[in-house]
Structure 1
């Protein structure tokens, strides 16, 4: 089964426009201006959905929908955001008592518009259930996406549409998650695919996602070996977004790390980024003596460059092994800036040749010290497609292989 870039772009645009319509409905109801910050399609393990949500209390609404496209969708916001929204909708002392009904009313208007936009485009009917109020801590608020009858039981990776909406005058945001049933979405994607053109085999995209996981695990092993700090790989996923949305994949906190350009099949850029405290902690684990400074010194940055090089090599070598190709990379270039400022010029360079981009994201962390690292890869989309085609033709017998076996 294949899906082409055009259909991915079309579906991503549909989700973006649906989120815009939902946001406009919310603004009309409450008088609060908001904007869609980013929309993306992510291929992610079922267990990793909502991984970016922290340990705050979240509330929202959930719908089931069915028709030519079936699945679940949810509108999620943190508790303080919901209180502000419901107070705007139901001003006065009664707002606290009406919080749940207010969230359901806002969610019903927003999500109905979101789903109706898909139905209009597909020229079909998509029915949805009444809104169900949901609450939970962090990712637990996201509805479980279980394998349904008729779904491929092996589909442990799902395509998830996620839109992030931010208020223009407030430092809060909320999220729309659309979790289509795997079979219904891929069937629709296949009807839009041009198999003679820029189609990507979905099963190989899943294998590539597994490659990313193994590359992250290898990078984490390298960190453990160099520092003595037991480090674990966490989330790994592939996202598809408009070029202008790519820099928004990274927060605007200050990061320290390395950037390399890799060449071969595919080519692109790879970033290894640490928050400032993590960079300081992991760098000092590499140093033979303690550094008496609260700031990042030349010794710290030299250690980060060395660590970034080792992590990059382990990550990229995993790709080369599976693709049976040569993937080289430049020496690491140290970066120390806000996340979007780091990624923006790289996205602009890639965007000279493509309107959308695949973004490969991984994370690792340890409980031993305050430490978290992110790996972001931005490959050339056409070359990634060519690499996956080569994997399908030359190693077709491994199409259904356990990705663990590919890394022996």
Structure 2
């Protein structure tokens, strides 16, 4: 099953416009100034949905929807901000839990009705949705379960992040459509002359990335003695101008390389500052001189970034039976968006949308986490997917020569 790039872009824009309509409805009802920050489509394992919400308390308004497109969607609020939102609609409701829940449900119902109606209008069909259900849970438990798909362990998730202007508060809209109804709708609205992405091979490529992340994690353990596990791996699709927003505004220390071959692009290995210090000191045979992040730490991170990059990219090259080379690592220490922005600008010279490949790794032994972000050239990613034989993908570890026909 193939879905063209234009169709992915159109459906991503649909989700973005729906989120904007929902946000405008909230602003009219409450007077809260908010704006949609970023919308993206993500392909990931069912078990990894909502990992970014871990450890936070949320309230939400959940809906099921059915028709030409079926599935689940939820509007998620930070628990503390929900009272403020309810008070803006019905003053004094924060002192009455029942009234507060009613206010949140009313806001959610109006916001999400507009969101779903926008999809129905575009698809020129009816999409019904269930009455709003108020939910109050921790972390990713606030999200509904993704609809089951017999042949697919990975699912598509539409996520919009809404920023409360002037406040350090974000809201989220998650849409979890049924796999078959989404891909069927995409195919029906595709440009038959467009550049197609084979969806089944995109899933296989995601699995390859998981293996590459585990190889990078194994290299961390080899260099530091710290047992490290690969965590979430996902492929996201978003307009090129939104790519820097995927990384956020936190400060990172890490490395950037350009890789060439099939595919080509850029790859970043990023640590938060505390993780960088901890993992660097685990590599050092002597005590570090100075406080905070020193030149010794940075040199160690540069070395580790090189080893992690090689493990990650070599895994792609082995499976795809191509040569994927990369430049020497360039050390970076800056806000995430500032690191990614010039790379996105380079890639954006040739394409309007981008696939962003994200992986995480962690350890329980010390405070340590690392992220790997790849930004491949869209055309060469398609070429790599075209050559990949999905039927024998499970043999990649045993004999890479059997991957291609």
Same fold, judged at TM 0.5 (above): yes
Equivalent residue for 1:155? 152
| Shift in CA distance, 82/404, structure 1 to aligned 2, threshold 3 Å | farther
Q: Does 1:132 align with 2:133?
A: yes
2:296 paired residue number = 299
How many Å separate the matches in 2 of 1:60 and 1:198? Answer: 38
Q: Given the superposition, is the C-alpha separation of residues 363 and 30 from structure 1 closer, same or farther in structure 2, using an over 3 Å criterion?
A: same
Alignment of 1:202-241 (within 5 A): 202-241=199-238
Partner of 1:350: 347
Q: How does 1:331-350 map to 2 (within 5 A)?
A: 331-350=328-347
CA deviation after TM superposition for structure 1 residue 154, in Å: 2.2
Q: CA RMSD in A?
A: 1.5
Secondary structure of residue in 2 paired with 1:52: helix
- What TM-score results when the alignment is normalised by the length of structure 1? 0.95
Aligned length: 400
Matched, 1:17 2:11: no
Distance across 2 between alignment mates of 1:210 and 1:79 = 35
Taking the aligned partners of 2:176 and 2:108, their CA distance within structure 1 comes to 16
Are 2:6 and 1:6 equivalent residues in the alignment? Answer: yes
* Correspondent of 2:379 among 372, 378, 382: 382
Q: Which of 384, 387, 392 does residue 398 from structure 1 map onto?
A: 392
Q: Secondary structure at the match of 2:44?
A: strand
Q: In 2 relative to 1, CA 146–118 (structure 1 residues): closer, same or farther, beyond 3 Å?
A: closer
Contact 1:193–1:199 under 8 Å retained in 2: no
- SS class of match (2:285): coil
Partner residue of 2:314? 317
Corresponding residue for residue 45 of structure 1: 45
Contact 2:201–2:390 (CA under 8 A) maintained in structure 1 = no
Alpha-carbon displacement from aligned partner over 1:250-283 (angstroms, at most 9, x marks no partner): 1211100000000001110000000000000000
Task: Report SS of the residue matched to 2:41.
Answer: strand
Secondary structure (helix, strand or coil) at the match of 2:51 reads coil
Q: Does 1:85 align with 2:79?
A: no
Equivalent residues of 1:2, 1:193 under 8 A apart? no
Q: Residues 298 and 94 of structure 1: is their aligned pair in 2 closer, same or farther, counting only changes over 3 Å?
A: closer
Change (3 A) 1:146 1:332: same
Q: 1:371 and 1:6 mapped to 2: Cα distance? A: 39
Using the alignment, how far apart are the partners of 1:206 and 1:13 within structure 2?
22
Q: Deviations over 1:61-82 (max 9, x none)?
A: 1100000000000001111111
Q: Which residue of 2 aligns with 1:107?
A: 108
1:144 counterpart = 2:145? yes
Is 2:229 the partner of 1:250?
no
The separation in 1 between residues aligned to 2:337 and 2:327, in whole angstroms, is 22
Distance of 1:406 and 1:37 partners within structure 2:
44
1:209-240 deviation per Cα after TM superposition (whole angstroms, max 9, x unaligned): 00110000000000001100000110000000
**CA drift at 1:87:** 1.0
Distance 1:402 1:107, change over 3 A: farther
The two structures have a TM-score, normalised by structure 2, of 0.96
Distance apart, 1:196 and its partner CA: 5.1
Give the direction of change, closer, same or farther, for the CA distance of 1:211–1:83 in structure 2 (3 Å limit): same
Unaligned runs of 5+ in 2: none
Q: Distance in 2 between matches of 1:333 and 1:189?
A: 39
How far apart are 1:404 and its partner, in Å? 5.7
